[in-house]
Chains A and B, each alone.
Chain A
Amino acid sequence: SQTIHQWPATLVQPVGSPLSLECTVEGTSNPNLYWYRQAAGRGLQLLFYSVGIGQISSEVPQNLSASRPQDRQFILSSKKLLLSDSGFYLCAWSVPDTVYEQYFGPGTRLTVT
């Protein structure tokens, strides 16, 4: 069966510090991968998605970047965090060549202070 992992679960970082959130998927090959952000009391905002290694599509111009160094690894980064980067970050995967069900990880709660 497929599983998706995210770490860390929670993170408190000062403004201006770098960020690296990691997501890995097991049990599937060449998945579509997604990064979402969710502000408190809000819906899901798609940040990045990838349909293959090294292939990244950005949805919203912002202070963040994404990379996919391996087939089942998706990384969300920032060189300098802003207060507005606080939120709940969710990674998701879906079956290749399809938009259908996306399966979400447990999320990372980021607080920028």
Chain B
Amino acid sequence: GESVGLHLPTLSVQEGDNSIINCAYSNSASDYFIWYKQESGKGPQFIIDIRSNMDKRQGQRVTVLLNKTVKHLSLQIAATQPGDSAVYFCAENSRDSSYKLIFGSGTRLLVRP
């Protein structure tokens, strides 16, 4: 299928290393943030989320960090594996509607064997 990451910023990491994907958000009033993983030709998959009353949340091999002072969100992937290769999107809830998420432009993660 057609790649969704042709023109996206790319992060290349060695298999087994840790990956850090960053995201800047714009709305200081956003109170919910989410990370998605999208493999080529597939729909995005939920990875992890975090509410604004938290600074850090951990999942299986993933950690999300939220810095509200500088409006920055990061996704850390421990011991990166080839199956982690994908495009990663951050999203925040929308100020003008409680039903909408605003998605970032995405980062392509390439894992070198």
Name A's B-contacting residues (CB within 8 A).
32, 38, 40-44, 46, 49, 51, 57, 88, 90, 92, 94, 98-107, 109
Contact = CB atoms under 8 A, between A and B. Distances in A.
B112 to A, nearest CB: 21
A101 B46 contact: yes
Given A40-B6, A105-B43, 19 more contacts: A40-B3, A41-B6, A41-B8, A43-B89, A43-B103, A44-B103, A49-B99, A57-B97, A90-B44, A99-B98, A99-B100, A100-B34, A101-B46, A102-B46, A102-B101, A104-B43, A104-B44, A106-B42, A107-B42
Nearest to A38: B4
Contacts of A46: 100-101
Contacts, number: 70
Interface in B98-113: 98-101, 103-106
A106 B49 CA distance: 21
Contact of B2 (A32, A40, A94): A40
Contacts of B41: 107, 109
B7 interface: yes
A43 B106 contact: yes
A100 B43 CA distance: 17
8 contacts: A41-B7, A42-B7, A42-B105, A44-B44, A46-B100, A98-B98, A101-B49, A103-B46
B63 interface: no
Interface string B32-51: 10101000011111100100
Contacts of A88: 2, 4
Contacts of A109: 1-2, 41
